[in-house]
Amino acid sequence: MSALANHRFLKMNGLGNEITVLDLRGSPLRVSAAEARAIAADPRSRFDQLMVLHDPVTPGTDAYLRIYNTDGSESGACGNGTRCVAWAMTADSVMGSPADRLVLETRAGLLPTERVSERVFTVDMGPPRLAWNEIPLSRAFPDTRAIAVETVLPEAPELAGPSAVSMGNPHAIFWVTDADSYDLTAIGPKFEHDPVFPERANISLAQVVGSDRIVLRVWERGAGLTRACGSAACATLVAASRKGLTGRKAAVSLPGGDLLIAWREGDDHVLMTGPTELEHEGTFAPSLFAGAA
């Protein structure tokens, strides 16, 4: 039987981005890819991202996060999920901490968080990574504001030359006049697996509607179509600003709602502000992991 049986979890969301939070601090347990897929398959704990808290690794941090996608793969960053963890650690009676400011760590780096109001948090997502080998891409591009992909879609030949940015995970942003006019469930997987992305990529369709507002739809690698993706919103604002389409601050409107993204001058850190919601809490049934080896 899985050691995760009967463990408590929180089912949350950030603008509809489905998040499950699991606190494993104080134990040596790790979640396997098979266990993550089993958790995602249960409607009670279904997630786009599973945020697993472990004991801090770096002095001065509050927890180490491992982030799993629906397919069991790991991600370096999840902005909406990090906001949910910040709420859980500062408001939940079991996970709770009296501090309104936390420093969380992922394999992509340190993510400071700050409570803005009862359910709204700001996450410092750090500086974007813009060099081709940092994103990473499979070959050199001197300017990642527009890269070449090998995938050509007869039904959408205009989707070419995306911007590429990493916010702890790779993002490709296609600039379109109407983000709702494409079948992203059909298009997303094809671009996600384009050979130029050796670690796959999150695929975004971005419609700039003003100097301070972008409409965005996202296909997440390893998770699929999602109502919101915080790291994609950050990557898109950075890419739009680099192309002169917006300033360094904008509202990014996703199907689940708006995120305020600011690309700070000076240290180049990207700040993401948005809400969280607790849906319910529960425990994992032992039978859930019957097929997870």
| Per-residue tokens: 15 | 């603008």
Residue 136: asked if its preceding bond is cis (omega within 30°), the reply is: yes
- Apex CA 211: angle with CA 129 and CA 218, to 5°? 55
Residues in the chain: 293
- Measure Cα distances from 191 to 52, 173, 204 in Å: 28, 11, 10
- Taking phi over 0 as left and psi of -120 to 50 as alpha, with beta for the rest, 7 belongs to beta
> Mind telling me the catalytic residues?
78, 229
Q: What is the DSSP string of 37-50?
A: HHHHHSTTT--SEE
CA-to-CA distance for 71 and 276, rounded, in angstroms? 23
CA-to-CA distance for 271 and 28, rounded, in angstroms? 32
Nearest to 12 by CA among 289, 278, 291, 281: 278
- For residue 214, the Cα-to-chain-centroid distance in whole angstroms is 17
